[in-house]
Amino acid sequence: MEIDGAIVLMISEKGHYGYIRTLGSSDKGIEVCYLAICKYAESDRVYLFSCDSNMCTESDCLVDSVEEAIAIAQSRSQSPITWLFPNGRS
């Protein structure tokens, strides 16, 4: 599985992980329904993607490790995140 050309290492079960607001918008924003930890083949670092209900990336965060991405993701959730491994554990 890939998102935006990056290999998905881990993806959360569908849930509520906050909203992404568009600058200058007065609405509550786009709901984040999935968090995905991804890696581009040419990079040693990983990304935490915040995705909408269609698994389209709405924002991303570049971090040094999967552990750092998990910690950031968990800070966005009020309950423990269940992670899925769509490409198998590596």
Per-residue CA distances from 49 to 24, 26, 63 (Å) = 22, 24, 11
pLDDT in tens, 10-19: 999 999 998 8
Q: Domain for residue 89, yes or no?
A: no
Q: Which residues of the chain have pLDDT under 70?
A: 24-26, 90
Residue 47: predicted pLDDT: 97
Q: Return mean pLDDT, the chain.
A: 91
Which residue range forms the structural domain that includes residue 7? 2-84
Of the candidates 19, 39, 35, the residue with the CA atom closest to the CA atom of residue 27: 19
Residue 79: predicted pLDDT: 86
Residue 24: predicted pLDDT: 66
Number of domains observed in the structure of the chain: 1
Q: Domain for residue 36, yes or no?
A: yes
Q: How many helices (H) and strands (E) does the chain have?
A: 1, 8
List, in sequence order, the alpha helices (H) in 4-90: 66-75
Q: Domain for residue 90, yes or no?
A: no
* 78: exposed, middle or buried (Cβ count in 10 Å: 0-12, 13-18, 19+): exposed
pTM: 0.88
